Structure 1
Amino acid sequence: MEKYNMIIVDSDERYIKNLMNYINKNYSNIFNTTCFTDYLYMEEYIKKQKKTEIILISLELFKDNISKLKDRFVIILTESLSEYDGHSCIKKYQSAEKICKDIIKKYEVDGKNIEDNKDTNVITFYSPIGGIGTSTLAISTAYSIGQMGKKVLYVNLENIQSTEIFLNNFPKSKYNLSDLIISIKNRSNNFSEILNSSINKYSDLEFYYFGVTDSILDIEELTYEDIKDLVENIQKVNLFDFVVFDLPSTLDTKYYSLFQKSNNVFISIGQDKRSNYKIDTLLTQLDNTENFLFIVNKLNNKKEQLFPRIVSINAKPVIQTINFYEDIEGIYDIDKCFEICSEFKEDIEQIANNVLDY
């Protein structure tokens, strides 16, 4: 039988200790078990944990926002309920043996459907403003999502790609993004094989990326249909929880399909008139911007902060404001940026949490 990672959350320390001891003694071949008596500690742990199939939690500690963890299977310990807020329940006060059997049965019936139906969320970072730091935001957010235990693929679609300067450990895979683009253009049936042979894994994180393209023409020659197929094929192989696309500042109609397919499109904006003009122009050119979220980047508090007119009038969501941090200006290595500037790291983690909470 497959082995499952399970978290038990209950404020009754004696109860949770006895249950965990029984599981470790009799079901260690089925469950890897971690327990908490505080919901917030569990929530912090689960953001960093690579994989947790089951959360067994007491009713009094259950929180509505736990349902945001779409790839987790939640079972609630109650005295008599069979279901609560759409989640399965089992009786708390029964034999530990019966509890274990109920957990296995419920997960085998209902829990695996959550894993099987899990979609790869598509996240896109874009800005018409060159030099505003969009690539830094995109790759840092993908990196942070990987630190939180989610499997994330970063895809840089700039003509001249900057991926190498952000990562201090850049191994070479058998193929790179150019090979994947060829597979897409040829509409070949070996996409999954090429994808697996093209991605690089960064350090011990679930953060994956491509080696840079062989030629800038590889990106330039992509069409609307190519990008549409690229996104759909990445989702179809279902290897990742998230795929983060990093677009060039040039607005090209071939990227419209990516805007449409994205769960969220993060638009980085500045605080000056030129920046505002470009953002307003962008928004007037697009028919549907409901999935657009805005990030003010490199904010200088000593200068006047101006917002794009259309963003202000339509109350578009500005989900994060990131200050200009002089300590990391000119430093691109993500590890070093996070180490030197904890404020920047926290800003990026808030964006990553926004992605996870979608």
Structure 2
Amino acid sequence: MPLIKILIIDEDHEYSISLCNFLTHSYSETFAVYYCKDLSDINNSIKKTEPNIILSSEKYYSEIKKYTNINLILLSSLKNPETTIKTDYIFKYKDVNQIAAEVINIHTATGNKTYSNQGKNTKVVSVFSAAGNVGKTSLALAVSSICSFTGLSVFYLNLEQFQSTSIFFNNNNQYSFSDIIYFAKEKDKNLVTKIPVICSKENDSGVHYFSQTNNVFDIKEMLPEDIDFIVTAIMDCGYYDIVMIDMDSQLNENTMKVFEKSDEILYVITNEESCLHKTRLFIDSIDLLSKSFKNKAYLKNKIKYIANKVSQQALLSDKFYLEQELMSQIVYDSNFPSLNDLSKFNGGSAMILNSYSEIAGRYIKNNMEGTV
């Protein structure tokens, strides 16, 4: 069932219908939206829909306020009107995604609790390497986009300190990942419902994401419990099939928390000696790292190795179009040093796949079979 019922009351019927249709289409997991068709019978419309929130234009706001205690928000045609200093209001002619976010914030700020649908069995996939510049972000973005193109609902979460999210996605949201970190530190229980509303959605691929942090130091302020809170909230909102986590190359407590939350870890390696050396050190530490898991899961059983023979990563366009040559840049090289020994070190089978699409195909297939 939808979480928040909204009734729109505005004399501009075209505006009401447009806002109603957008919120219904884009936020069906969060809102049930109605509009008052007969403005002469507003009272009956309120009784019939029993809304949690009423969005009203100036013309009807004062009258509605007299006979209902329902959370009433003014849809103002003016920015920062002096007459509404003590009134919850939203400027009606702004981006509709921002209107949705402000509705959530006003609703929860008054003490209302919202709950998730628990609608999907979300799979968490993290992308990691002990070495930098091996193609982690290319892999995470490509697999996310391919899965989204095929109909899966995908959330891309970038936990790198120096993020490149704004290069690949348009940051058209007033909220950034810095805001999410703040909500996590405040242990905002309504973050579960806020996420589908305050995150951004890439127009071409349909991948959901948080706009990058306001500064690089915000990521450094994150604690393992903050990461746990955020990833759990994304999973619990019941909207996403896959959460793809793009990780930093550091091995610390935050990294271990991501590993713990992950169903699968894609470890990217190249045939450069420095990468192989760091990977060997990582593999030697797997058993020790596994023992630190609170859930006693075996870390080595989660890791799938991705061999990337490309020494220089192909540049991605700012819209992230999946060109054919881009989709085939991850390949297996039979002369790759130490690849044949990876399965022995790992304690499980290494995953050496031919392309981004083949990697994504595993998740698409699992989803079709109901095992994601």
Partner of 1:270: 270
Q: Which amino acid aligns with 2:146?
A: S
Distance in 2 (alpha carbons) for counterparts of 1:219 and 1:200: 19
Q: Which 10-residue stretch deviates more, 280-289 or 172-181?
A: 280-289
Q: Which amino acid aligns with 1:121?
A: K
Partner of 2:305: 294
1:283 is displaced (CA, Å) by 2.3
Partner of 1:128: 130
1:273 is displaced (CA, Å) by 3.0
Q: TM-score, normalised by structure 2?
A: 0.54
Q: Does 1:305 align with 2:336?
A: yes
Could you say what secondary structure the match of 1:179 adopts? Answer: helix
Q: Which amino acid aligns with 1:189?
A: K
1:189 is displaced (CA, Å) by 2.5
CA 1:275–1:309: 2 relative to 1, 3 Å: farther
Which of 145, 150, 153 in structure 1 is aligned with 2:152? 150
Partner of 1:50: none
Indicate the RMSD between aligned Cα atoms, in angstroms. Answer: 2.4
Q: Which amino acid aligns with 1:265?
A: I
Q: Which amino acid aligns with 1:313?
A: K
1:265 is displaced (CA, Å) by 0.5
Partner of 1:352: 360
Could you say what secondary structure the match of 1:161 adopts? Answer: coil
Partner of 1:216: 216
Q: Does 1:283 align with 2:283?
A: yes
Q: Is contact 1:139-1:154 (8 Å) kept? A: yes
1:306 is displaced (CA, Å) by 0.5
Q: Which amino acid aligns with 1:306?
A: P
Q: TM-score, normalised by structure 1?
A: 0.56
Task: Structure 2: give runs of 5+ residues left out of the alignment.
Answer: 1-116, 291-298, 312-331, 367-371
Q: Is contact 2:193-2:237 (8 Å) kept? A: no
Q: Is contact 1:179-1:194 (8 Å) kept? A: no
Could you say what secondary structure the match of 1:293 adopts? Answer: strand
Distance in 1 (alpha carbons) for counterparts of 2:208 and 2:273: 37
Q: Which amino acid aligns with 1:161?
A: Q
User: What does the per-residue CA deviation read over 1:97-143, in whole Å, with 9 as the maximum and x for residues that have no partner?
Assistant: xxxxxxxxxxxxxxxxxx96631111100011111111110111111
User: What does the per-residue CA deviation read over 1:4-42, in whole Å, with 9 as the maximum and x for residues that have no partner?
Assistant: xxxxxxxxxxxxxxxxxxxxxxxxxxxxxxxxxxxxxxx
1:299 is displaced (CA, Å) by 4.5
Distance in 2 (alpha carbons) for counterparts of 1:165 and 1:197: 22
1:192 is displaced (CA, Å) by 3.1
CA 1:175–1:278: 2 relative to 1, 3 Å: same
Q: Is contact 2:126-2:266 (8 Å) kept? A: yes
1:188 is displaced (CA, Å) by 1.6
Q: Is contact 2:265-2:303 (8 Å) kept? A: yes
Distance in 2 (alpha carbons) for counterparts of 1:294 and 1:166: 25
Q: Does 1:172 align with 2:183?
A: no
1:350 is displaced (CA, Å) by 0.6
CA 1:261–1:272: 2 relative to 1, 3 Å: same
Distance in 1 (alpha carbons) for counterparts of 2:232 and 2:333: 45
Q: Is contact 1:124-1:247 (8 Å) kept? A: yes
Q: Is contact 2:119-2:238 (8 Å) kept? A: no
Distance in 1 (alpha carbons) for counterparts of 2:202 and 2:196: 14
Could you say what secondary structure the match of 1:298 adopts? Answer: coil
Identity of aligned residues (%): 25
Distance in 1 (alpha carbons) for counterparts of 2:359 and 2:147: 9
